[in-house]
Amino acid sequence: MSKEKKSQTVQTTGHAWDGDIQEFNNPLPTWWIWGFYITVVFAIVYWFLYPAWPVGDSYTKGMGNTVEYTTKEGEVVVTHWTTRALYQKEMQAAREQQAVQLAKYSKLSFDEIKKDDAMRAYAISVAKVLFADNCAACHQPGGAGLISMYPSLVDDDWIWGSDYKQIETSIRSGRKGVMPSFSKTLNEKQIDDVAYYVLNYSSKQNDFARVKNGKEIFNTNCAACHTQKGIGNIQLGAANLTDKIWTVAGITAKMKDKDKINSIKQVIKNGIAREMPGWENRFSDLEIKMLTFYVNELGSKQ
């Protein structure tokens, strides 16, 4: 009954299957039809305004906005609208903003940067990126260094000094820490005694005869660089031997004295040749300033 009623009000396509299955011919909703037309119009307008259709090995460029931007290298580019150009434009704006910010730093002294929390934080964030890209390969992320290979920049020990000026020189010109090998100049007993004496600087040893022997050998062979007091010489990059930080020998507090002495003996026998490359030509003055500030902040001061 109700089926009959429906077939009277709604048109069908006229097809029938299995006798009574029919296909309704409902008109599409008006809102849908309008939506469809609008998208068609939109598409056509879009094709004219924006890059759209492939043509040969190129494409239609659209008649919409042109985009103008300056590349990192200073070249001015005017191009049809592309998202890549928009991205370049954003990068340009960011660079300009950064340049304004950075320009402030050329006028500030290190102490002024340190005093201003915002300036300090920004300098560190810029330098951190430079450090990660250029220095962390050797000095490790965060500057912890690798025992005997690359000195730690976060500890209290500075081979070449912790002043801004000294750190800047380390970065600009590079550093070369050279200590000769004593395996031919000194015999085993002498090396043993002088190592014993070196350890005596930072933790007192009780074999006085051995200390006395070692001291003589040290004053003759080592004091020229390390000084008689063993405090080292930052002009030569000769390590301070009186502290408990061993950047080459790799001695840790947990080691037994016998092992500490063996590590020191290894250094005396092998000598040292470590080199830090200079960065003068690879960074701008401002970048070196940022890095100098950052490295100084990393380490605590002597």
What residue ranges bind ligand HEC (CB under 6 A)? 134-135, 137-139, 150-151, 153, 158-160, 167, 170-171, 175-180, 182, 194, 198, 221-222, 224-226, 236-239, 241, 246-249, 264, 267-268, 272, 274-277, 279, 291, 295
3-class SS string, 80-141: ECCHHHHHHHHHHHHHHHHHHHHHHHHHCCHHHHHHCHHHHHHHHHHHHHHHHHHCHHHHCH
Question: Pairing relation of β-strands 175-179 and 76-80?
Answer: unpaired
Nearer to ligand HEC, 52 or 236 (CB): 236
Nearer to ligand HEC, 22 or 181 (CB): 181
Cα gap 182→160, rounded to integer Å: 23
Smallest gap from Cβ 119 to ligand HEC, in A, equals: 20
Closest-by-Cβ residue to ligand HEC is: 177
Q: Could you give the 3-state DSSP secondary structure of residue 239?
A: coil
Smallest gap from Cβ 110 to ligand HEC, in A, equals: 14
Cα gap 36→61, rounded to integer Å: 26
Nearer to ligand HEC, 176 or 212 (CB): 176
Specify the residue for token string 């050797």. Answer: 138
Smallest gap from Cβ 271 to ligand HEC, in A, equals: 8
Nearer to ligand HEC, 113 or 239 (CB): 239
Nearest one of 178, 147, 302, 153 to 231, comparing CA atoms: 302
Nearer to ligand HEC, 70 or 262 (CB): 262
